[in-house]
Every structure is written in structure tokens, then in C-alpha cells.
Structure 1
Amino acid sequence: MARPESCLGAAAIVLVMLCAVMSSAAAQPRRPLPPNSQVIHPGRFGKRAQVVTCDNKKDKKKPCIATCDKRCPNECLVLCSSCKTYCLCDFYPGMSCGDPRFTGADGNNFYFHGKKDQDFCVVSDADLHINAHFIGKRNPSMSRDFTWIQALGIRFADHRLYLGAQKTSKWNNDIDRLELAFNGATIDISTDIGAHWQSTAMPGLTVTRTSMTNGVRVELKGVFDIMTKVVPITEEDSRAHNYGVTEDDSLAHLDIGFKFYDLTDDVHGVLGQTYRSDYVNKLNVSSSMPVMGGVARYVSSDIFATDCKVSRFGHNGAISMVTTKAN
């Protein structure tokens, strides 16, 4: 795999973790949280039995005590009015959790397992192409890999942007494991929250620290707004799901949130296709694990390659428009 070298109307929102969720709800490019709600972060502390108390003093009700459900990988939402908890994958369109579970633009959840050590086009449009590199572990009792997204390769105009999680043995959240590069050059940004980097080649491209380590917001004016954070698989998750985390690999991967602007109605890719006006969901949405197949259609030969069978990149011959919007 090569490493960094060198809409349906206005704002289509896609929140994708491409493997769990961001640690800071307020910072995510998604709609505001409901009033009188709280977010639980079990993944941050490595335990599920974390209990939170939230209270709306105006409703005269007793405080609600809720526990995050085990099926929520790293974060869940507590609605205090009803005392119910939700995985953010259930609550926000486009989000993906776990072994990647996406929520399409139609609001339905589906899994796309892909294969470890391969690249797949997640979004492909005339002026934007995003591939995801999958890492994984083989469970001998299953016919597929456990997979997570380790990196994104983003193409726009003649530029290449790389966002990746470095392989990590013993996880320490105080150490920055996020790798960023633009056109092959490493993006250096200090670890102060709010620290800012701006491209000289494309002034509309900026990177801002959302946490001292492992979290940034990447924006290209008029094109996308991406939040990403590096997270590990916890020992508890590994035991519960038999992921096979070892001392030499914590399976560090990306939690990702996207906001896109001006995607065309011809957009494709694993997730991108769900934003087409003619998209028809043929998955068994009543299943506990609806799986999107057709892996071969989405395989790319490289993290920056645009050769997947459903590629749309460059089809309108107006790639330069991205640069124009960014300035």
C-alpha cells in the first residue's frame, strides 16, 4: 500500500467513523445534540459499566441514571427526558461504528466488512474521491475478517491528502498517533487545542487541533469538513468480541465525521451511493446485521487510486472547480 506521496443540494452531511465516534460531541460536524442530553464515553476509560446522572431541573423529575449499551463501541447518547440511551450510529445519519457499520443517508444501518490490508472507495464523485484503508484480524471461527479503517486517502483537483492512524503497540492517549500529509509533505501542527495549520498551496485547506493528541478537524472550504480521531481497540472489547488484540498491536484506527458540500447526484462509493436521489436500499434492514456486499466493486489498487469500478472522479472534466471553491 502506498503511503502519503507527494449533493443532493447544499451541504450533504456524512458522519463516519469509520469505526466509532469522536470524543468531543460539540466539535463534530453534525447537528446539535438534543437538549438535556449527555454523551457517555466508555471507550475512553476502557469500561462499559460507566454510569452517568443527568437532570433537567425544570421538569421536576428525578435524575436519570443510564449505562451505555455494550453494542455502542466508544460513545453513546443519553436522552434524559426518556432515560434512554442510543448509540450515536443510531442517532446520526451517515455514522459508522465498529466493524464498519454505516448509517446511510436513508437512515438505515448496514455493515461493510471489506478485507484487511485493502483499500475501498467510500465516496467517489466528479471532484472528490475518498478511499479507506482497512486493517483487521482474522477470526478462525468466522468466514470474514474483523476490520477497521486505519487511514483515508483523499483526492481533489490534483491534490492528495492523507489522514492515518499509526500502528501502536501499548496504547497511551497522551501520545499523538495521528499521521497527516498533504501532497506527500508531513503536516506539522502543535499539540495545543485550537492550533491551526493552513496550506500555502491551497489557502482554503486548514487543519485545527480538537484535542491535544489524536484529534483534528480538516476543512477544505466549499468541499468538505472532516473530524477525525485515533482510537484503539480496548482489551475489554477484544475479550468480548474475540478481536485478538495483542501486546504488539492495539489495532489503532480512525473515528471519522464528514460534512460534504455540493456532492453531485452521480456520487458513488460504499457510503456515497446512499446520497443519490435514485438510491434504492436492497439490504435486509430488519436484519440485526444487514451487510452490503459487492466488495469487488469498491476495491481500489492503492489508497489514492481512483480505479474502483464505481469511480466517478474526473468524469465531468472540471476538477479545477474544487480549487476555485476553496479559495
Structure 2
Amino acid sequence: AIAREKVLCLPNKKVPSCSNKLFKCPSECPQRKPADPKAKACFVDCGPKCEAVCKNRVLTCNGFGSICYDPRFVGGDGVMFYFHGSKGQTYSILYDLPTLGINAHLIGTRPRGRPRDYTWIDSFAIIIPSHTLIITTKKASVWDDDIDHLSFSLDTNTVSLEETHVAEWSSPDGSIRIERTHNTNSAVIYVAGKAKINVIARPITEQDNRVHNYQLPVDDCFVHLDMQFEFFNLSDNVGGVLGQTYRPGYVSPVKRGVPMPVMGGEDKYRTSSLLSTNCAACHGFGLLEEESTVHTTMEPEAQW
């Protein structure tokens, strides 16, 4: 039998009863990184349950906090909606300033006669006081799942990750960690005390292109990102296209019972770049200093 590993809940201000406690992994998933990348892995739930649980290491596009496809969101309130945006623009996915900002950049195409762009997320940035992490896709004319299409850079320095599903990397101060969940194109990012983000790089398939009439160019399969977020220790002032859905008392304005409920707010959440926290809605929440080169040590506050 495989020995059951132990997982630790680090200090968490909102759930102090779980802080600094060790939990043994269930026998059904005894390891954090099983040899089989498709097997369920051991995670620790440092919320009200305070226990080790079994979960898949990859995202689900129907789960809370997911962003997939032509961006289709499932909010923290469980309500599904689309946010179209415009190709070439960047939007605030979440701001909880001054401790966390997440922005996403859109690629897209607009077939002749169509009133709006088809859009997908091709890169996003995580902004914390100590670091900036940018996750981007690599352009491809033909998709090959054995070739990695993910790229990571911390404070403009490229992060190198071995192409194996157990590879991992941590920032020197321990505030950011990246783990692959498959040999290529799939990873999970941990931001200490703030977030866990599953990400997968995918192409637009020939069938998708044909069915939806995207009219993509023959030399670009529009590699994009599907993501799922889990957040910790958010303030009551959290906002952003996704972030607003985690605000206490939030009521979604999107229409229910329609095939494509759309969330507005393009002008409100647009930022000038991936590393900017200057969206119109962001003002008044103590902005992170833009283009800052100061990187201070950030103590981890929550479980990995």
C-alpha cells in the first residue's frame, strides 16, 4: 500500500481553527502528486471542514470560479455568464487591492458581418505586492498536445519548468508556487494566502471553427486558456468581472434562463495593460503601485 502523506493548513485569519494543523490524506488518494496524472490527488480543505479531501488536479469548466471558452464564467455565486470584451484589450478579472490583482488579455476574431468579436483569453497576470506573475500561451498553427504551449514569467524573468506532471517551481520567498498537472499544457498556481488557479492551454479545433463559423486563419489555431480560481481571505471590497461575484450580498444582474447570459462592464473593468490596476472600477481601493520594481517578502498565510 502507498503511504498516506500529510498536508498542512498554514495560518488562515478567517479560519483560525484550521491553522497550523496537519491532516493525513485519505486512503483513496494517499498522495498530493500521484504517479498517474489522471488519478485523484490529496488536497487539504482549510475552510470550515478542516480535513484532507480527494480532488482532480485539473479544472472543471462548470465549477465555481471557472473561466473557459469564449469567455464563459461561473461566478463565486454559482451563476454562469459570458463576458465578451474586445480583442486586444485587457480586463480586470479580480481586484482586491492593495493585496491582489488579476488581469486577463483577450485575443479574438470578427468574421465579416458580425457585430462583435469572438474572444478568448490568451494570457493573464497575477499582481501582488511582492511580485508579478504573467502566464501566456504560445501561438501555434497546428496543435500538438505533446508540445507545451504555456509560458510563465516572474518579474519579467522566465520560469523554467520540467515537462513532467510532478514538476514544480517556487519563488524565492515562497509566495508563489507553480506545479504542472500534466506533462504539458496544464498547471496549477498557488499564491500564498490568496488564490489557487488551475490553468489549461487549449486550441480552437477545426470542428469548433466550422460549427461556430469563427473563420480563423489557417496559420493560427488560437491557443487560449481555460482557468478555474479558488480564493482565500478576500476582503468585502473585492471586485472585477469575476471578483465581484465573491462580494458579500452580491446579486447577479445577468438575465436568467437565456442561452447566453451576458455580463456588461467592459468600460468599467478595462485596464491599460496586463500589469496595471487602473480600471475605472478599481479606483478608491488603494491601488498597487504600477510598474513597481520593489519586491518585499510576503509571508504565506494559507495552505498550499
TM-score w.r.t. length of structure 1? 0.70
Matched, 1:237 2:212: no
- The total of aligned residue pairs comes to 257
Given that residues 68 and 227 in structure 2 are in contact (C-alpha distance below 8 angstroms), is that contact kept between their aligned partners in structure 1? no
The one-character-per-residue Cα deviations of 1:50-105 (angstroms, maximum 9, x if unpaired) are: xxxxxxxxxxxxxxxxxxxxxxxxx9xxxxxxxxxxxx544x22223321111112
Distance 1:94 1:196, change over 3 A: closer
Describe the SS at the equivalent of 1:324. coil
**1:109 — aligned with what?**
80
1:23-68 C-alpha deviation (Å, 9 max, x unpaired)? 968469899799xxx9xxxxxxxxxxxxxxxxxxxxxxxxxxxxxx
- Tell me the equivalent position of 1:183: 155
Alignment of 1:30-69 (within 5 A): none
Unaligned residue ranges in structure 1 (runs of 5+): 1-8, 11-22, 39-74, 76-87
Give 2:229's aligned amino acid: F
**What letter corresponds to residue 112 of structure 2 in structure 1?**
P
Identical aligned residues as a percent: 36
Structural mapping, 1:87-236, within 5 Å: 88-90=60-62, 92-126=63-97, 127-200=99-172, 202-236=173-207
- Equivalent of residue 255 in structure 1, options 218, 223, 226: 226
Post-superposition Cα deviations, 1:145-172, rounded to whole Å, max 9, x if no partner, equal 1110000111001411001111111111
Q: Answer yes or no: is the 8 Å Cα contact 1:29–1:225 preserved in 2.
A: no
Contact 1:266 1:312 (C-alpha < 8 Å) held by counterparts = no
Of 270, 275, 284, the residue aligned with 2:255 is 284
- In the aligned structure 2, how far is the partner of 1:322 from the partner of 1:161? 15
Contact 1:117 1:136 in 2 (8 A): yes
CA distance in 2, matches of 1:268, 1:25: 35
Offset of 1:314 from its aligned partner?
A: 6.1
Quote the Cα distance in structure 2 between the aligned partners of 1:169 and 1:163. 20
TM-score by length of 2: 0.75
Q: Aligned to 2:246, which of 247, 267, 275?
A: 275
Distance 1:301 1:132 in 2: 11
Find the aligned partners of 2:43 and 2:70 in 1 and give their Cα distance. 22
In the aligned structure 1, how far is the partner of 2:209 from the partner of 2:44?
A: 29
CA contact (8 A) 1:206 1:218 kept: yes
Which structure 2 residue ranges, 5 or more long, are not aligned?
1-13, 16-36, 46-52, 289-293
Are the structure 2 counterparts of residues 260 and 321 from structure 1 closer, same or farther at C-alpha, using a change threshold of 3 Å?
Answer: farther
